[in-house]
């Protein structure tokens, strides 16, 4: 969304007069339901803000409570600094000792999923750790006329936070909230906050298109990583209609499952983030299997930690099947080549050739290894016979559907090697130094 244009609208037109953009749907639902009656039904209470009263519902999950296979107390983020490995764009934490209570998890339930100007967050769930327990505070909108009070209450609550944690918050949650604050000509408290969105690291770690069940929705991850299975959960697509029905009927029981859904999302988010932190802190020993180890290696390489990434690649190759081994070794070899450790890279490329199996992805890995070894022996090891042998094998392994450019490069390399070998043969002899380079020939580093 173009927030610069939205800010211009909110500030007003040329005459300097502000425009009131508060969204109140037609149908007489703006006044809402009696907050006291809703509070009594949902176990909530009213709090005072500068913009009026706001309904909040508090729940506490003690440290020894189980959420699937993990206990709540094991999900505490004692130190948020390692989150920088999961998101290299995350600014460093402020100086001073870490405070888990100032890491706030945020999740919204809205009147729609479009994310446009008319989308309102009617439930803002915020969670934080307090003495090992997970404390959840939910801000509930009992009528659209009370939205300013809800926004003021949320702003007061997240004001002391040093880090905001969301799942898809960069794309949805925070833009929705900023839009509403702008509409009401209020300052957004998230503007200056460090924000960590777990969705993108989760995709790097746990999405694998070669695996059938690799969805990275929060619900899928809580089942696969945490072992938590919801029962009787309200489907997400049903939540907006429940809220509008609540406004029409005043029946707060319609929202009980919605609030529980939101609370479980927050606890699962904390558990998934904790799982990601354990991986980047523990390395291969903390991984469940070879695929997760390979994914961790890719994430650490992306974060600028090549040595730790290489360790993951080695472990993944040793523990995994042919597909994981070939990819892990290939990534390790390329990393060593970028570090100009050419002999080590060549040794790893040779390991790729020893991986057993038959599949299109494995054939591609072998062709890459053969090409890299041909280049290495021509330009680094200066063994023209070995270079030609690898180039010839690469030509034999080309198959169909390959890039014409790649095929032309292999043919060009073979022709160049033949010329060099012929020249060595012509100029060779006892004590003769063979000509091993062609000043007109191209070629990339191995």
Stronger pLDDT, 210 or 34, i.e. the higher one: 34
Going by C-alpha positions, the residue among 321, 330, 323 that lies closest to residue 348 is 330
CATH topology of domain 287-427: 1.25.40
Specify the pairing of strand 103-110 against strand 70-71: unpaired
pLDDT tens per residue across span 363-421: 889 989 999 999 999 999 999 999 999 999 988 876 655 677 878 888 898 999 999 99
pTM given for the model: 0.85
pLDDT of res. 30: 57
Q: What's the whole-number mean pLDDT along residues 202-211?
A: 86
- Residue 212: band (very low, low, confident or very high) from pLDDT cuts 50, 70, 90: low
Tens digit of pLDDT for each residue in 224-253?
A: 999 999 999 999 999 999 999 999 999 999
pLDDT band, very low/low/confident/very high, at 425 (cuts 50, 70, 90): confident
CATH 1.25.40.10 domain extents, the chain: 287-427
pLDDT on residue 96: 84
- The residue among 81 and 18 whose pLDDT is bigger is 81
- List every span in the chain annotated with CATH 3.30.420.10: 3-280
pLDDT-based confidence at residue 104 (cuts at 50, 70, 90): very high
Per-residue pLDDT at 306 exceeds 90: yes
Q: What is the DSSP letter of 428?
A: -
Mean pLDDT of 37-64: 97
CATH code of the domain made up of 3-280: 3.30.420.10
What are the CA-CA distances from residue 99 to residues 28, 93, 265, 432 (Å)?
Answer: 45, 11, 22, 72
Q: Per-residue pLDDT for 439 more than 60?
A: no
Task: Tell which residue, 380, 381, 333, 385, has the closest CA to residue 354.
Answer: 333
Mean pLDDT of 252-273: 98
| Helix spans in 91-198 (H) | 147-158, 174-183
Looking up tokens 């994430």 gives: 299
Q: Tens digits of per-residue pLDDT, 341-364?
A: 999 999 999 999 999 887 777 888
Say what percent of the chain tops pLDDT 90. 72
In terms of pLDDT, which residue wins out, 430 or 386? Answer: 386
Report the chain's mean pLDDT, rounded to a whole number.
87
* Mean pLDDT, rounded, for 261-273: 98
Residue 363: the pLDDT is 86
Residue 430: pLDDT band (50, 70, 90) is very low
pLDDT at position 117 is 60
Annotate 274-304 with DSSP letters as a single string.
Answer: HHHHHHHHHGGGG-SSHHHHHHHHHHHHHTT
Among residues 259, 269, 264, which one has the least CA distance to residue 221?
269
Q: Using pLDDT thresholds of 50, 70 and 90, give the confidence band for residue 9.
A: very low
Res 114: pLDDT: 59
């Amino acid at each position: 969304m173009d927030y610069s244009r939205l800010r211009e609208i909110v500030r007003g037109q040329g005459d300097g007069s502000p425009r009131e953009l508060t969204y109140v749907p037609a149908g007489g639902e703006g006044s809402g339901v009696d907050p006291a009656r809703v509070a009594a039904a949902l176990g909530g209470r009213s709090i005072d803000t500068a913009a009026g009263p706001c309904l909040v519902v508090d729940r506490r999950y003690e440290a020894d409570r189980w959420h699937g296979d993990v206990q709540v107390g094991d999900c505490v983020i004692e130190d948020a600094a390692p989150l920088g490995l999961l998101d290299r764009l995350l600014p460093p934490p402020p100086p001073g000792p870490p405070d888990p209570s100032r890491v706030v998890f945020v999740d919204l339930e809205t009147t729609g999923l479009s994310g446009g100007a008319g989308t309102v967050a009617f439930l803002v769930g915020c969670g934080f750790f307090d003495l090992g327990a997970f404390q959840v505070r939910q801000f509930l909108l009992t009528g659209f006329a009370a939205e300013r009070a809800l926004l003021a209450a949320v702003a007061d609550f997240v004001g002391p936070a040093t880090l905001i944690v969301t799942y898809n918050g960069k794309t949805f949650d925070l833009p929705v909230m900023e839009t509403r604050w702008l509409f009401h000509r209020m300052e957004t408290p998230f503007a200056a906050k460090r924000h960590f969105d777990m969705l993108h690291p989760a995709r790097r770690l746990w999405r694998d298109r070669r695996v059938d069940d690799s969805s990275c929705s929060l619900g899928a991850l809580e089942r696969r990583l945490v072992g938590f299975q919801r029962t009787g959960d309200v489907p997400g697509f049903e939540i907006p209609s429940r809220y509008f029905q609540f406004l029409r009927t005043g029946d707060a029981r319609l929202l009980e499952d919605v609030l529980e859904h939101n609370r479980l999302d927050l606890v699962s988010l904390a558990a998934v983030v904790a799982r990601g932190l354990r991986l980047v802190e523990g390395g291969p020993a903390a991984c469940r299997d070879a695929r997760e180890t390979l994914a961790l290696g890719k994430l650490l390489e992306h974060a600028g930690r090549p040595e730790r990434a290489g360790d993951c690649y080695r472990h993944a190759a040793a523990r995994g099947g042919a597909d994981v081994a070939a990819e892990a070794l290939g990534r390790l070899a390329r990393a060593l080549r970028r570090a100009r450790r050419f002999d080590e890279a060549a040794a790893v490329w040779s390991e790729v050739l020893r991986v057993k199996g038959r599949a299109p992805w494995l054939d591609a890995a072998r062709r890459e290894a053969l090409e890299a070894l041909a280049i290495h022996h021509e330009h680094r090891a200066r063994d023209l016979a070995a270079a030609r042998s690898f180039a010839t094998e690469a030509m034999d392994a080309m198959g169909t559907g390959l890039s014409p450019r790649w095929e032309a490069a292999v043919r060009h390399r073979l022709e160049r090697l033949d010329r060099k070998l012929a020249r060595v043969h012509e100029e060779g002899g006892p004590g003769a130094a063979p000509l091993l380079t062609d000043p007109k020939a191209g070629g990339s580093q191995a």
